[in-house]
Copies of this chain bind each other. A is one copy, B any other.
C-alpha cells in the first residue's frame, strides 16, 4: 500500500490552485446556470488505461469547495485502470462539484500521468532487481506530489532536494579537482545520515569512485554491455544507478545488466496527463 501524503502538504497546494481558478469572483457560470439546491452524483472515469495517483488532492479540492460533498473511492492510488473504469464518485451539490471539477482533474490527471509513465517502466523491468527512480527534474512547486506519484507507479524516490543527499556531477568533479578529491571533500562536509552519489561516464571513473568509497555510482548513458561490465567491476560495493534515455523499451536490457537503480527524468517532467473525465450519473 502506498503511504498517503500528509494533509498538511496537500491542503495549501490545493487551496492555492482553487484560488487560482476562482479568481476574484468565483465560478460565474455555475452560479448563473445551476440552481443552488440541485444535487448530483458524478463519477471520475478513466478514458485511457493507466495508473491512478492523486485521489487525496482531488478529494481535498472538492472538500475545500464544499465540505458537505461526499467522495467514495473505487480505485485507490496505485490501481491500474482501464478505459471506463470508475476511479471515484462524488455526490452533493451540483454547483459545488462543477466548481471543484477542473482543479480536481488537473491534479489527478497530472499525477496519474506520472504514475502511468512510471508503472510502464516498472513493468518492463519486472523479474530483475532493478528499481525505477525519479530525479529532481520536476514541475516547480509540485515535487512532493510528483515524487508521490512515482511511488504510486511502483517507483522509488531519488533525493528530494539539494539538501538530503550529495550527487556529484561532472562540474563538481572538475571544480573539486577529481573524483577522489570530490568524494573526500563531500565526506568531510556532510553529516553521517547523508549518502554520497557520484556520476561517472567511464569505467575508469567508476573504479576511482569505488576506491574513494562512493555510496552510489550513477552510470550515465552507458549501454547494456558497458553496464554489465560496470556491475562486474563493482562487485557489490556501491549501489549502481543507470541513467540516460530510459524508456519502457530500453529499461529491460538496462535492468538485465544487473544495476540496482534506473532513473528517468521524463516520468516527472514530460509524462502526458492521464485522460480522466467527470461524468454526471444522474441529477438527484
Instruction: Tell me the bound Cα distance from A94 to B193 in angstroms.
Output: 25
Contact string against B for A residues 114-138, beta-carbon threshold 8 Å, 1 for contact and 0 otherwise: 0000000000000000010100111
Instruction: Tell me the bound Cα distance from A169 to B174 in angstroms.
Output: 41
Q: Indicate if the CB atoms of A216 and B189 lie closer than 8 Å.
A: no
Instruction: Tell me the bound Cα distance from A178 to B28 in angstroms.
Output: 17
Chain B contacts of A22 at CB under 8 A?
6, 8-9, 161-163
Binds B, one of A30-38, A224-232, A246-254: A30-38
Chain B contacts of A136 at CB under 8 A?
21, 102, 106
Instruction: Tell me the bound Cα distance from A98 to B171 in angstroms.
Output: 8
How many whole Å from A153's CB to the nearest CB in chain B?
Answer: 14
Residue of B nearest to A34 (CB): B175
Q: Indicate if the CB atoms of B193 and A137 lie closer than 8 Å.
A: no
Q: Indicate if the CB atoms of A13 and B98 lie closer than 8 Å.
A: no
Given A110-B269, A147-B25, A182-B33, answer yes or no on A8-B17 (Cβ-Cβ < 8 Å): no
Chain B contacts of A272 at CB under 8 A?
266, 269-270, 272
Q: Indicate if the CB atoms of A140 and B143 lie closer than 8 Å.
A: no
Chain B contacts of A147 at CB under 8 A?
24-25
Chain B contacts of A270 at CB under 8 A?
113, 272-273
Q: 30 pairs across A/B with beta carbons < 8 Å? A: A3-B31, A6-B99, A8-B22, A8-B64, A8-B65, A13-B141, A20-B140, A22-B161, A23-B24, A23-B160, A25-B164, A29-B166, A29-B186, A30-B162, A32-B189, A33-B168, A33-B175, A34-B171, A94-B171, A94-B175, A106-B137, A106-B138, A106-B139, A110-B139, A133-B191, A133-B192, A157-B191, A192-B261, A193-B216, A266-B272
